[in-house]
Structure 1
Amino acid sequence: MAKKKVGAYPGGMILFSLTSALFLIGFCGMLVLQSKKLVRYIRENNEVRVFLDKDLDKKQLEKLHGQIVKKPFVLYNGTAPQVNFVSKETAAKEFMADTQENFTNFLNENPLRDSYRIKLQEDYFEEAKLQQVKADLEDVDGVFEVIYQENIVDEINKNITKIYIIMSVFAVIMLVIIIVLMNNTIRLALYSQRLLIRSMQLVGATNSFIQLPFLRRGMMQGLISGLVAAALLFILLQVALRNIDGLATLQEPEKIGILLGAVVVLGIIIGLISTFQAVHRYLRLSLDELY
C-alpha cells in the first residue's frame, strides 16, 4: 500500500473549480473594462454644435476657431483639438440625406448656417456643466447659437451609475460565493489527509511545519488555475475581436494585461488562503471529530 505524502491530495477537482471561478471573475472584470471604455466613448463623442453668424470672412472664422480650441472643455486627440468646421452647404447635404427632402425646391436660399462641432472632455458630460459650456461659447463674438442634446445627459449618467452599482454588487457577491465554495472544496480534498495531520501532531511536528507543504501546493494550484483562466480569457477576447465589429475600438491593452495578471495573483491568494483555513481547521479538531 502506497504511503501518503504530506500535502499530496487529489487536486483535479480543486484546479477545475478554481479555474472556473477565476474565469468568471476575470470575465466580469473584462465586462467592466469594456463598459467603462464604451461609456467614455459615448461621452467623448457627444457633440456640441456652435452655429455662427452669417457672412463671416475667413479671417473672422480663423479667429473664432482659435478662441474655441483654447477652451478648457475641448477634447484633444493627441495634439489635435476635436473641433470640426461644417459649412452650410455640407449641412444642407446632410439634412437632405437624413430627411430625403430637398428644401431648395421651395426655398430660394440655404437657410442653414456654418457651424463648429465640438467634442467635449468626459468630465463635462453633465447637464450643469453643459449649460456652462453653452453660456461660455455664446459669449464668443461671431457665435449665433449653441445647441446640444438637452435632458438626456443626466438620464444617461443615472443609468450608467445604476449599471455600475449592479455590476459591483454582483461581482462582490460572486467573489464571496467563490471563496466559500473553494474553502469547502479544498477542505473536502484535504479530508483524506486528516489522520496524517494528526499523526504528525502526535510526534511533535509544529503547526507551521505541517501546513507548509499544503500551502505550497495550494499556491501552485492557484498559480496554475490563474494561468489557465487568464489564457482562456485571452482566447475568448481574441475570438470576440474577430467576430464583433467595433469591439477593437474599446480595447485598452495595458488594462487588459493588468486584469489578466490580477487573475493570476488572485488565484494564488485564494489558493493560499483557502488551503490555510482548511488545514487550520483540521489542526484544531479533536480525535473524535476527525472520525
Structure 2
Amino acid sequence: MPKKKKIGSYPNAMIVMSLTAALFLIGFCGLLVIQSKKLVSIIRQNIEVRIFLDKQLTKAGEDSILNVVKVKPFVLNAPDVKPIVYVSKEEAAKEFIEGTKEDFATFLGENPLRNSLRVKIHEDYFEEAKLSQIKKDLEKIGGVYEVVYQEDLADNINRNVTKIYVVLASFALIMLIIIVLLVNNTIKLAIYSQRFLIRSMQLVGATNGFIQRPYVVRGAVQGLVGGVLAGLMLIGLQQVAVRNVEGLAMLQEYDKIVILVAVVLSLGVLIGVSSTYQSLARYLRMALDDLY
C-alpha cells in the first residue's frame, strides 16, 4: 500500500539539492576568476625591463645606477620577489649559449654582451604607454646604454585578459539568471503543494505575516544549508585540484576563497528568502477558485 503524503509536507531535499547545485556552479565561476587573476598577476610580475650598462662603467658607477633605479616608484615591491637582479656579461653569455647551443666567442674572439640590470615592474605600470615612459626615464640616467622590454606584450596580455574576464563574467551572469529561475520555479512548485494549507490558515484568521514567517525562515535555512554544502564542495574540489595539479598551489589566495564562500552562503540565503517570499505572495492574493 503506497505511503500517504502528510498534509503540509514540503520537498526540502529537492529544494536544498537545487540550491546546492546552483550555488556550486556560481562559486565555481568565482573560483576560476580568482585563480585567473592570480595567474595574470604572476605573469605580470615576471615581465622584466632590462637596463644595459655602458662598458666603461666602474663597479661604483654600476652601484650608483642600481641605487637610483631601486627607489623608482614603478619597481615591484613584493616580500618574496627580488625586484632588481644584476647580470654580468659573463652570466648573460652563459645564458645565451645554453639557450642557443652556440658559442659566439669562438668566432668573435670576445664577449660583446654588456652588464645589465633586470628590473621587475609593478602591475600598475603594466601598460604600453607607461612602459614606454619608463624606458625614456631610465635611458636618461648617466651610464645607461640602452633599456629594452618586450614591446606590445603588455597590450596583448591586457587585451586577452579583458576578453577572458568578459567571457567569465558573461558566463557567470547567464548561469546566475538561469539558476535563479530554476530555483525559483522549484520553490514555486513546493509552495504550490501548500496552497490549500495556506488558504486554510487564512480562513481561520491568520495574518499574512504569520503565514509567511515559517516559510521564509525555512527558505533562509534551506539557502544556508545549500550554501554550506556548495562551499564544502568548492573547498573539496579546490583541495583535490591543488594536490593533483602541479603548480596550482601558487594560484591559491585563501583569503579571497573565504570571501567567495561567504558570498555563496549569503547568496543562498538571499535566493531562498526572496523566492519563497515571492511565491507566497502570489498564493496569498489568489482567489479560492484559482487554487484549483
User: TM exceeds 0.5?
Assistant: yes
User: Within 2, Cα distance between the matches of 1:68 and 1:241?
Assistant: 38
User: Within 2, Cα distance between the matches of 1:84 and 1:76?
Assistant: 13
User: Within 2, Cα distance between the matches of 1:254 and 1:109?
Assistant: 53
CA shift, 1:4, in A, is: 2.8
Single out whichever of 56-65 and 212-221 deviates more from structure 2.
56-65
- Aligned position for 1:262: 263
Q: What code does the residue aligned with 1:171 have?
A: A
| Aligned 8 A contact 1:50 1:144 in 2 | yes
- Aligned position for 1:163: 164
Between the two proteins, the alignment pairs up a number of residues equal to 289
CA shift, 1:266, in A, is: 1.0
User: Within 1, Cα distance between the matches of 2:47 and 2:66?
Assistant: 19
Single out whichever of 147-156 and 134-143 deviates more from structure 2.
147-156
Q: What code does the residue aligned with 2:70 have?
A: V
User: Within 1, Cα distance between the matches of 2:98 and 2:73?
Assistant: 34
Q: What code does the residue aligned with 2:233 have?
A: L
Single out whichever of 175-184 and 127-136 deviates more from structure 2.
175-184
The TM-score normalised by the length of structure 2 is: 0.96
Indicate the RMSD between aligned Cα atoms, in angstroms.
Answer: 1.4
Secondary structure at 1:204's aligned position in 2? Answer: coil
Q: What code does the residue aligned with 1:4 have?
A: I
| Aligned 8 A contact 1:74 1:81 in 2 | no
Single out whichever of 168-177 and 123-132 deviates more from structure 2.
168-177
CA shift, 1:78, in A, is: 2.5
Q: Quickly say closer, same or farther: Cα 1:187–1:80, change in 2 above 3 A.
A: closer
- Aligned position for 2:62: 61
- Aligned position for 2:98: 97
> What whole-Å deviation, never above 9, does each CA across 1:145-196 have from its counterpart, x for those lacking one?
0000012221221111111112112211211111111110011112221001
> What whole-Å deviation, never above 9, does each CA across 1:233-273 have from its counterpart, x for those lacking one?
00000011011111111111111111111111111111111
User: Within 2, Cα distance between the matches of 1:86 and 1:3?
Assistant: 79
Which runs of at least 4 in structure 1 moved beyond 6 Å after TM superposition? none
The TM-score normalised by the length of structure 1 is: 0.96
- Aligned position for 2:19: 18
CA shift, 1:2, in A, is: 7.6
User: Within 1, Cα distance between the matches of 2:211 and 2:68?
Assistant: 73
CA shift, 1:37, in A, is: 0.9
Q: Quickly say closer, same or farther: Cα 1:194–1:175, change in 2 above 3 A.
A: same
- Aligned position for 1:41: 42
User: Within 1, Cα distance between the matches of 2:40 and 2:12?
Assistant: 42
| Aligned 8 A contact 1:83 1:117 in 2 | yes
Q: How does 1:63-212 map to 2 (within 5 A)?
A: 63-78=64-79, 82-212=83-213
- Aligned position for 1:4: 7
Q: What code does the residue aligned with 2:243 have?
A: R
CA shift, 1:79, in A, is: 8.8
What is the percentage of aligned positions where both structures have the same residue? 58
CA shift, 1:60, in A, is: 1.1
Q: What code does the residue aligned with 2:268 have?
A: G
CA shift, 1:120, in A, is: 0.3
| Aligned 8 A contact 1:69 1:81 in 2 | no
Unaligned runs of 5+ in 2: none
> What whole-Å deviation, never above 9, does each CA across 1:64-99 have from its counterpart, x for those lacking one?
110000111000123975000011001001000110
Secondary structure at 2:194's aligned position in 1? Answer: helix
User: Within 1, Cα distance between the matches of 2:46 and 2:5?
Assistant: 68
CA shift, 1:208, in A, is: 0.8
